[in-house]
Amino acid sequence: MIHKQEEPTMAIEPKHTHLFSRQPPSTLSKIAFGTFLIGALSGIGGTVAITLSSGAPSRDIVTLMIGELLCTILIATRVRWMQVIALPISAYLFYLVLTEPFVLESLTNPKGPHGGLGAFIGEMFIIANSIIAFIATFGIILQDYRGGSRKAPRWLPSVLCGVIGLVIGASYIGGLAQPYSIPTLTYTNGVPTLHVSAGNFDLSSVTIPKGSKLLLVAALNSHHVLANGTWQQNTPLLKQEQGAPLINDLSLDGNKVTIGPFAVAGTYHILCLIHHGMNLTITVQ
């Protein structure tokens, strides 16, 4: 009697398709976790640095820090639906990075006064990190729902090389940018005009003629709240000098406002309530 030899059965790896199942670790999940963690640590460092140097950090920076920490946790769980949640959050974080006032200021002026070329290159790394985090998260979702290999996809090296090339190219262009020029008081239709950056007045003091107004033009997406007074160390001293126009919680949100007229000759002071040390001295002659 001839016995047929049983063919060995091949072990088939079970697919993790349940909504709450944990997915096996993959190259993309490790990249996503690492980039989100770097973003979170950068956000914490930026928040501390800006708080110590110029007061409260912008709402965008705090949101970035919290969002990066949340995405780090979501990716670390390796649970399918949590990883799906991380995708739109990472897209929103990328949007915040590109529209954050300090980043916009540095991108438009790579050798500007707030960190110069070093800050510009650092912000390019943050942008590149955000791009990689989003792409890696998107790749994780595709792998989870296609049930394919957990190996690194073939397109990953090309994407990484492209992002690295973007950083190198932007850094080179930033190095060729014109040196930062010292700002001056300009005039708009005869009105003295002072520009306001993301964290300070372009000039700490200006001199204007008696009877004129002062036009303040804020950088895109910047946020300031102005009032009469000065910062004394870390304490705002609110005081309206005699003859000064009243400025009380005047909001400057990426727009322009006119203060005055300054009808009486003298020296007046304005501060921003949310940026420590942001003072403006106005001399009226």
Residue-level pLDDT at 57: 61
Query: Which two structure tokens, joined as six digits, stand for 229?
Result: 């007074």
H-type helices in 177-264, by residue range?
Answer: none
Nearest 5°: phi and psi at 107?
A: -65, -35
Q: What is the pTM of this model?
A: 0.70
Contact between 185 and 194 (Cβ < 8 Å): yes
The residue behind tokens 């940018």 is 177
Where does residue 16 fall: left (phi above 0), alpha (psi -120 to 50 degrees), or beta otherwise?
beta
Q: Please name each of the domains of the chain with its CATH number.
A: 27-176 (no CATH), 186-284 (2.60.40.420)
> 53 forms bridges with which residues in the sheet?
none
Q: Which residues of the chain have pLDDT under 70?
A: 1-20, 50, 52-58, 147-149
Cα 277 from Cα 232, distance rounded (Å): 8
Residue-level pLDDT at 38: 93
Burial letters 169-191, b for 16+ CB under 10 A, else e? ebeeebeeeeeeeeeeeeeeeee
Residue-level pLDDT at 19: 60
Cα 240 from Cα 42, distance rounded (Å): 39
- Residue-wise pLDDT for 134-180, tens only, equals 999 999 888 877 766 678 888 899 999 999 998 899 888 888 877 77
Cα 146 from Cα 236, distance rounded (Å): 58
- Residue-wise pLDDT for 28-56, tens only, equals 999 999 999 999 998 888 777 767 665 56
Residue-level pLDDT at 55: 59
Query: Which two structure tokens, joined as six digits, stand for 214?
Result: 């002062």
